[in-house]
């Protein structure tokens, strides 16, 4: 997709100027996931394709002050395995699993005992990983719990896709201070409106997007 197409798609979805709201949504998702599963922590890691790293984008619970923004190679650790294979995973004791990157965990200051993890998938892309760490001890993880984790991952994937589109649009704007910036400022203004004025503004942006195609 070209830069202009990226911006057009962002305008059509109303995502420009909304990064903070999408980040807040990711935070809400991991917070609810931690509460539902009774876990000590929950996190969302996003793939940075430019650096081939996984980045802690949203963290609640144990280690949240230290983990947010921490990066490590995307091919490393359990999260890296889940991302690469696009396969959910449950581990009762991470220390016995050869995929566990103990050096990465120790570097963050929080070493979990067990975890559940699910890939964040959108269309054909693997965007990141949702993790739920250190649930209360139970004999077995149920199928219903894995399905519930998948639902959280699906919701997170939608928010992550919008967040990444907003960031790509912002990069386009930073490289182009001309016509495209004018369209982006208009989108940001409309995003801040309420009620009927916001609906009217969104209709205008949709019409503009159709014209640009």
Q: Where are the domains of the chain?
A: 19-164
pLDDT score at 14? 52
pLDDT score at 12? 47
DSSP state of 53: E
pLDDT score at 139? 47
CATH superfamily of this structure's domain 19-164:
GAF domain (3.30.450.40)
pLDDT score at 80? 93
Name residue, tokens 């990711």.
26
* CA atoms within a 13 Å half-sphere pointing along the CA-CB vector of 173: 20
Cβ contact 116:58 at 8 Å? no
Report, as ranges of residue numbers, the positions in the chain whose pLDDT lies below 50. 12, 139
- Answering whether pTM is above 0.75, one says no
pLDDT score at 21? 73
Separation between Cα atoms, residue 184 and residue 176, nearest integer Å: 11
Nearby residues of 133 by Cβ (< 8 Å), 6 or more positions away: 39, 40, 41, 42, 43, 61, 62, 112, 114, 115
Cβ contact 75:101 at 8 Å? no
Give the count of beta carbons closer than 10 Å to the beta carbon of residue 129.
Answer: 27
């Amino acid at each position: 997709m070209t830069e202009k197409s990226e911006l057009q798609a962002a305008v059509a979805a109303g995502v420009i100027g909304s990064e903070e709201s999408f980040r807040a949504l990711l935070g809400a998702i991991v917070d609810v996931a931690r509460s539902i599963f009774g876990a000590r922590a929950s996190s969302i890691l996003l793939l940075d394709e430019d650096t081939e790293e996984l980045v802690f984008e949203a963290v609640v619970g144990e280690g949240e002050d230290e983990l947010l923004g921490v990066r490590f190679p995307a091919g490393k650790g359990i999260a890296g395995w889940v991302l690469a294979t696009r396969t959910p995973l449950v581990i009762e004791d991470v220390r016995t699993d050869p995929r566990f990157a103990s050096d990465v965990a120790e570097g963050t200051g929080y070493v979990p005992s067990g975890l559940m993890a699910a890939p964040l998938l959108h269309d054909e892309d693997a965007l990141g990983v949702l993790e739920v760490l250190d649930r209360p001890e139970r004999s077995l993880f149920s199928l219903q719990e894995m399905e519930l984790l998948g639902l959280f991952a699906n919701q997170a994937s939608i928010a992550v896709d919008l967040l990444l589109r907003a960031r790509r649009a912002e990069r386009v704007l930073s490289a182009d201070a001309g016509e495209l910036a004018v369209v982006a400022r208009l989108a940001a203004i409309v995003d801040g409106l309420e009620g009927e004025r916001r609906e009217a503004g969104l209709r205008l942006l949709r019409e503009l997007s159709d014209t640009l195609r």
